[in-house]
C-alpha cells in the first residue's frame, strides 16, 4: 500500500517521539506542597497519602534544600498548629508554626527556590472553616479578608516570595495587594486560588492539616458544574492585582484549566490535589496500574491542558527522576 501520510513515522523510536513531543514536564514547572506541624520531633506519615508526611522544622528545611537542588520552581508551605481556636489566631502569630517555617525555609534556600505560602485560616480554626464565623455560623467574608491581608503581610515580612490566598473570599486579592503595597512589599507576588472548586478529592488533605471541619464549604468554594463562573472569578482576581491564577483541583477540571489559559495572559497554575495523588498511589499499591506511567500521564495531562505550573506531591520525585534520566 502506498500512503503519502503515515503519522506513525513520528512514533517509531523514543528519540523520534521525544523530538516531536508537544508537552513536557520540566522540574522548573513544578511546586512541591509541604506540611509542617508544630511540636513534632519526628515526621508524621499521612496515612491517606503514602510517602507524604507532616514535617518537623528540621525535616522541612532538609526537604526544601532538596527541592532547590532538584530545580523545582518552589515549595508551598502549610502550617499545622498544636492549638486551634475559633479565630484562627495562630495564623497571625509572628512565631507561629507557619511563620517560623517561612523563616526557616527562606534562610535555607534564599532565592534559589520560591517560598510560597497558603494564606487561609482553615489549618488554624477549631471549626475548620477558611474564615471566622458570624454568630449565626456562616463565614464572615469581610472580617476574614482583613485577616488574610494581615497574614499575607506577615508572610512577606518573614521571607515569602509568593503569597497564595486560597479561601475563595470575595475581595481577598484586592485587600492583600493593598496591604502588601502599603507595607512596602511591592515585589511579593500573589498566586490567587482563583477557580477553586468544592470537591470530594480534598479528603486526604483534611488529614494532612488535621482539619476539624464539619459540614462543607459550598458557600464559598465554587460549584463543579460551573465554568463561566470560574472565568468571572479569574477576571476579578486579576483586576484586584493577582500576578498568577490557579485552578484547583486539576484532573476533574482540565477543561477549566484550558479555558482559563485561553482567557488570560498571566501564568496559570493547577493543583494536582491530595485525592488525585491518593487514587494513583492506592491503585498502584494494589498492582492495578503502573505507578510511574500513571504519574507521568497525570502530570503531562495537566500541562497539556494549559497549566504553566503544577503543584504536585510528586514534584521532588519527578525532578529527581528527570535528573537521573539526564545522566544516562
Which pLDDT belongs to residue 205? 75
**182 to 94, 96, 177, 186, 312: CA distances (angstroms):** 19, 23, 9, 9, 33
Q: Where are the alpha helices (DSSP H) in the chain?
A: 14-20, 57-69, 97-109, 141-157, 172-182, 203-208, 228-240, 254-263, 274-285, 291-305, 315-327
Binding-site residue positions for 5-aminolevulinate? 206, 217, 274, 313
User: Would you state the pLDDT for residue 324?
Assistant: 83
Q: What is the mean pLDDT of each run of 10 residues along the chain (328 residues)?
A: 88 91 94 96 94 96 97 96 92 96 97 96 86 89 96 98 93 97 97 94 78 73 94 97 97 98 97 96 98 97 98 97 78
Q: Beta 53-55 vs 44-45: how paired, if at all? A: antiparallel
Rounded-to-integer distance, Cα 269 and Cα 1, Å: 47
Give all domains of the chain, ordered by start, each with its CATH number: 24-325 (3.20.20.70)
Residues annotated in the binding site for Mg(2+), as ranges? 233
Q: Which residues are catalytic?
A: 196, 248
Residue 94, pLDDT score:
95
Instruction: Report the pLDDT value the prediction gives residue 251, as an integer from 0 to 100.
Output: 97
Determine the 3-state secondary structure of 324 from DSSP: helix
Name the residue with cell 500500500: 1
Q: Which of 67, 64, 60, 59 is nearest to 28 (CA)?
A: 67
CB 247 within 8 A of CB 253: yes
Phi-psi group of 215: left, alpha or beta (phi > 0 → left; psi -120 to 50 → alpha; rest → beta): left
pLDDT number for residue 68: 97
What's CA 71's distance to the chain center, in Å?
A: 17
Residues annotated within a binding site: 206, 217, 233, 274, 313
Amino acid at each position: 500500500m502506498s500512503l503519502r501520510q503515515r503519522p506513525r513515522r513520528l512514533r517509531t523510536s523514543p528519540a523520534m517521539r521525544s523530538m516531536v513531543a508537544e508537552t513536557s514536564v520540566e522540574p522548573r514547572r513544578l511546586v512541591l506542597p509541604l506540611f509542617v506541624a508544630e511540636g513534632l520531633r519526628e515526621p508524621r506519615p499521612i496515612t491517606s497519602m503514602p510517602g507524604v508526611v507532616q514535617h518537623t522544622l528540621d525535616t522541612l528545611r532538609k526537604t526544601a534544600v532538596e527541592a532547590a537542588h532538584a530545580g523545582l520552581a518552589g515549595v508551598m508551605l502549610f502550617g499545622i498548629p498544636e492549638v486551634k481556636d475559633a479565630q484562627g489566631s495562630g495564623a497571625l502569630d509572628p512565631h507561629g508554626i507557619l511563620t517560623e517555617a517561612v523563616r526557616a525555609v527562606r534562610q535555607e534556600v534564599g532565592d534559589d527556590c520560591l517560598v510560597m505560602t497558603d494564606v487561609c485560616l482553615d489549618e488554624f480554626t477549631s471549626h475548620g472553616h477558611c474564615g471566622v464565623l458570624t454568630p449565626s455560623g456562616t463565614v464572615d467574608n469581610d472580617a476574614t479578608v482583613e485577616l488574610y491581608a494581615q497574614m499575607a503581610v506577615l508572610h512577606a515580612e518573614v521571607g515569602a516570595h509568593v503569597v497564595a490566598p486560597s479561601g475563595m473570599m470575595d475581595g481577598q486579592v484586592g485587600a492583600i495587594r493593598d496591604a502588601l503595597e502599603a507595607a512596602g512589599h511591592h515585589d511579593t507576588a500573589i498566586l490567587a486560588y482563583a477557580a477553586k472548586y468544592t470537591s470530594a478529592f480534598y479528603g486526604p488533605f483534611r488529614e494532612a492539616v488535621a482539619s476539624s471541619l464539619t459540614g462543607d464549604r459550598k458557600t464559598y468554594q465554587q460549584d463543579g458544574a460551573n465554568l463561566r463562573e470560574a472565568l468571572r472569578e479569574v477576571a476579578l482576581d486579576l483586576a484586584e492585582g493577582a500576578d498568577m491564577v490557579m485552578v484547583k483541583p486539576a484532573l476533574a477540571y482540565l477543561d477549566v484549566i484550558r479555558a482559563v489559559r485561553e482567557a488570560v495572559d498571566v501564568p496559570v497554575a493547577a493543583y494536582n490535589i491530595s485525592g488525585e495523588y491518593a487514587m494513583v498511589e492506592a491503585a498502584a499499591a494494589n498492582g492495578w496500574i503502573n505507578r510511574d506511567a500513571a504519574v507521568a500521564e497525570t502530570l503531562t495531562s495537566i500541562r497539556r491542558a494549559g497549566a504553566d505550573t503544577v503543584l504536585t506531591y510528586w514534584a521532588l520525585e519527578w525532578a529527581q527522576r528527570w535528573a537521573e534520566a539526564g545522566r544516562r
